[in-house]
């Protein structure tokens, strides 16, 4: 209970105080600035959007499974390190990063953070940066399909509410955009229907046949998910992406409030030490691994891709960027905090907790669902089974909306590459989507992996993601320097995240080499080289800018 109150108070202070300072003094938001949603309005990707609807899209897109999985693994070192990093990271790191990427993209015609690198650092840096971005999106899309498929198989009661959310979203999109209905009643009725579907799913669990055309249930679900994501990424954002993310955001926010409320009522005790001295054999050092294990929920490079990829194209007013970007990060921080509570106070005893945390990475969604269901059941009187279904649907919907956005982002990157290289076919949405799907499916099913091929390179996600966050902050920092704005609130998280991510990557490379994991070792070297090159380019650019401004000051 104390952790919840302290955490929520810190998040509130971050939004109402710190983000206001960032908005006014650092990014200097202009309510009269014509955003790309208006300047380039096309009714498909560039659509001016109500800030609450856009927040729902942004929040659910950035808050995938990672803010659950990361904290659920990191509590193996104790609850205190995870709690401190999530709270401080959300307020001073993630909010500034997500808000900054959104602002930078809006000021550059809605271009992605990779594409606008050319304006800031040059052509070579842009090409290398976009390579890292494409690799990260490939990881996210291939692995989240596996995560969702696993949840659908292990929790068949979640199938109806997860897929039923799509139908609800389409209806809401039609009511709001085609028939001009206000947000209130579609929102209220939509959330009620979504929660009613959870009880329907509990009564009618759905399982796929053990074999269909020679495919296992895992392969079947992964193919269905990619077919859906491919279609969804082609539709105008108002048809499915916006309303789905918005109504899911409301449902998930209600789920968070239920979990927090149940904790305050049941008042479960944390059974894990603040700093766990008895970690399982093979658990890596807390520094720097904590800061890449918990990425989403503290700071994440993927957020910059969403901010500059989809959200910037839908921002109605530049002043909405504070609510969408910073408060979106706060929403994810709340999810990460809930994961910490569920995975440390949701078990009957320390011995029961140790039975789950037998090795590093043994936690995750399963620990969140198990621990959270016990708390939710104790605080609300719901059965453990229905409580577990609610939390499973939460996790799957977060992952699903991230996968939707991730494939659309991958399509944007391919189209931008087509524009840069002047390859006409890649500039079209259909071809770019097919290329994105083909690359994801090739990774997922390559080498006979049965759909889980993304797991082969997933160990690189944490470090690649954090390096991308640092590089995104570097782009924002250079822009601020050129505008002669204060840059310290960006430079501090930039330096910290880059140093921790590079140290963690060096440790990983040593492990990959020792274990003869040559694919991971080779990709790790590529990511490290790309990150160092872009970082050095950013440092050189900042030094030149400082020198030029100093010289101009002396001349004056």
Reported as a single tens digit per residue, the pLDDT across 231-264 is 888 888 888 888 888 888 888 888 888 999 999 9
Place of tokens 């659509």: 47
Question: Which pTM value belongs to this model?
Answer: 0.88
Residue 449: its pLDDT value, please?
64
Mean per-residue pLDDT of the chain: 89
- Residues 103-124 have a mean pLDDT of 87
Residue 532 lies in a domain: no
Are residues 440 and 226 in contact, defined by beta-carbon separation less than 8 angstroms?
yes
The encoded tokens of residue 317 equal 């007013």
Residue 511 falls inside a structural domain: no
Total residues found in the chain within this entry: 556
| Banded pLDDT at 311 (limits 50, 70, 90) | very high
Of 55-59, 126-130, 338-342, 397-401, which gets the smallest average pLDDT?
397-401
N-terminal to C-terminal alpha carbon distance within the chain: 58
89: pLDDT strictly greater than 70: yes
In a domain? residue 503: no
Residue 352 has pLDDT above 60, yes or no: yes
Rounded to an integer, what distance in angstroms lies between the CA atom of residue 79 and that of residue 132?
A: 32
- Tell whether 473 is covered by a domain: no
Domain assignment present for residue 547? The answer is no
pLDDT beyond 90 at 121? no
In a domain, 438, yes or no: no
What pLDDT is stored for residue 448 in this prediction? 61
**Which residue range forms the structural domain that includes residue 38?**
2-418
Is residue 451's pLDDT more than 80?
no
Share of the chain above pLDDT 70, in %: 98
Q: How many domains does the chain have?
A: 1
Answer whether residue 297 is part of any domain.
yes
Question: How does residue 447 score in pLDDT terms, banded at 50, 70 and 90?
Answer: low
Residue 554 reports pLDDT greater than 70: no
Helix 327-345 and helix 95-106: axis angle, to 10°? 150
Alpha-carbon distance of 341 to 157, in angstroms, equals 24
- Does some domain include residue 480? no
- 91 in Cβ contact with 11 (< 8 Å): yes
Confidence of residue 171 (pLDDT cuts 50, 70, 90): very high
């Amino acid at each position: 209970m104390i952790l919840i109150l302290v955490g929520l108070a810190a998040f509130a202070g971050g939004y109402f105080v710190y983000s206001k300072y960032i908005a006014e003094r650092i990014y200097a938001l202009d309510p009269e600035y014509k955003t790309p949603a208006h300047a380039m309005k096309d009714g498909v990707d560039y659509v001016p959007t109500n800030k609450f609807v856009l927040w729902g899209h942004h929040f659910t897109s950035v808050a995938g499974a990672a803010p659950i999985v990361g904290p659920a693994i990191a509590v193996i070192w104790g609850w205190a390190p995870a709690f401190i990093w999530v709270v401080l990271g959300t307020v001073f790191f993630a909010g500034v990063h997500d808000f900054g990427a959104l602002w930078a993209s809006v000021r550059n015609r809605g271009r992605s953070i990779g594409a606008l690198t050319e304006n800031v650092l040059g052509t070579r840096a842009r090409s290398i940066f976009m390579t890292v971005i494409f690799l990260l999106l490939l990881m996210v899309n291939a692995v989240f399909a596996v995560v969702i498929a696993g949840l659908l198989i292990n929790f068949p009661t979640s199938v109806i509410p997860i897929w039923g959310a799509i139908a609800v979203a389409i209806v809401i999109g039609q009511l709001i955009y085609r028939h001009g209905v206000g947000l209130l009643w579609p929102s209220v009725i939509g959330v009620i229907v979504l929660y009613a579907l959870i009880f329907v799913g509990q009564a009618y669990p759905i399982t796929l046949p053990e074999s269909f055309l020679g495919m296992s249930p895992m392969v079947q679900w992964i193919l269905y998910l990619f077919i859906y994501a491919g279609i969804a990424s082609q539709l105008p954002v108002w048809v499915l992406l916006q309303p789905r993310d918005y109504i899911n955001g409301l449902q998930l926010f209600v789920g968070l409030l239920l979990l927090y409320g149940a904790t305050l009522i049941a008042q479960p005790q944390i059974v894990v030490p603040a700093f766990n001295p008895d970690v399982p054999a093979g658990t890596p050092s807390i520094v720097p691994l904590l800061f890449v294990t918990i990425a989403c929920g503290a700071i994440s490079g993927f957020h910059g891709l969403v901010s500059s990829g989809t959200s910037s194209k839908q921002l109605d007013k530049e002043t909405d960027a504070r609510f969408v970007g910073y408060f979106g990060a706060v929403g994810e921080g709340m999810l990460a905090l809930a994961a910490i509570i569920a995975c440390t106070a949701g078990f009957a005893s320390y011995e029961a907790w140790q039975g789950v945390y037998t090795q590093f990475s043994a936690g995750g969604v399963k620990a969140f669902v198990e621990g959270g269901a016990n708390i939710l059941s104790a605080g609300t009187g719901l059965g453990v089974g229905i409580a577990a279904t609610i939390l499973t649907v939460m996790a799957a919907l977060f992952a699903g909306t991230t996968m939707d956005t991730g494939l659309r982002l991958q399509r944007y990157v391919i189209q931008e590459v087509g524009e840069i290289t002047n390859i006409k076919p890649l500039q079209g949405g259909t071809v770019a989507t097919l290329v994105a799907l083909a690359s994801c499916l090739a990774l997922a099913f390559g080498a006979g992996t049965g759909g889980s091929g993304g797991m082969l390179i997933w160990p690189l996600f944490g470090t690649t993601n954090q390096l991308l966050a640092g590089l995104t902050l570097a782009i924002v920092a250079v822009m601020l320097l050129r505008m002669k704005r204060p840059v310290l609130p960006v430079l501090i998280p930039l330096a910290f995240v880059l140093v921790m991510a590079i140290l963690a990557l060096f440790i990983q490379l040593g492990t990959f080499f020792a274990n003869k994991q040559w694919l991971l070792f080779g990709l790790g070297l590529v990511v490290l080289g790309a990150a160092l090159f872009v970082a050095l380019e950013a440092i050189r650019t900042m030094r030149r800018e400082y020198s030029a401004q100093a010289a101009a000051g002396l001349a004056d």
